[in-house]
Amino acid sequence: MISRLQALGYSLSVRALFDAPTLAILAQSIGEHHALVIPPNLITAETEKITPELLPLAELTQPEIDRVVEAVPGSFANIQDIYALSPLQDGVLFHHLLAEKGDLYVVTVTMAFDSKDMLERYLAAVQQVVDCHED
């Protein structure tokens, strides 16, 4: 639906699609959704210093930019762009920094099975899930 609307010159986010309780309400809101405009990358191979003006997707001060540049091996020559984390990335980083040891997203589980057949059925089910999410 979203790609067909885009072909007609309309834009609609996935969130807006699922937030609308009915198609009639969704249709009324279509004009309110605007396509996301991504500014061009202003950092080029000739860039000698990254400044706030070169980062339209981030609100960083020069000292903050300098800290980022210092943390990257090879300095600014290895930086193509700097932008804010998505909300999901921000949450992952928060939990990573909050964890006192280990990684919150790595879970170790020990399982036992009554038979080899049950183990093989379990492994087949896990493989099916992996196969669905490979791409």
Domain coordinates of the chain in residue numbers? 2-32, 52-98
In tens, the pLDDT along 48-69 reads 899 999 999 899 999 999 999 9
DSSP state for residue 56 in the 8-state scheme:
T
Residue entry with tokens 């400044």: 51
Q: What is the mean pLDDT of residues 8-20?
A: 81
pLDDT band at 42 (very low <50, low <70, confident <90, very high): very high
Q: What is the mean pLDDT of residues 111-116?
A: 96
Contact 50, 72 (CB under 8 A): no
